Amino acid sequence: MRLLFAIPLLLLAACDPCPNYCQTECECADDGSEACVATCLETLDIYSGESRTDECEERLVDLEEQCR
């Protein structure tokens, strides 16, 4: 089941950094559950288009620095 969830995320990650950001954020918090990722993605729905992409890219860079 987890693999079926990961495949669409991998496909989306090619054009949208938000799934990658959410997956990384959840893993950093020791919660790799699908629910965590889904909730994270829902919170990013306040952004749209290029601003959403920019926000996720920026957050991912910050998160990678903080969660080593």
More confident: 34 or 2: 34
5-57 tens-digit pLDDT: 444 544 444 578 999 999 999 999 999 899 999 999 999 999 999 999 999 99
CB 59, CB 67: distance < 8 Å: no
pTM: 0.75
Q: Does residue 7 or residue 60 have the better pLDDT? A: 60
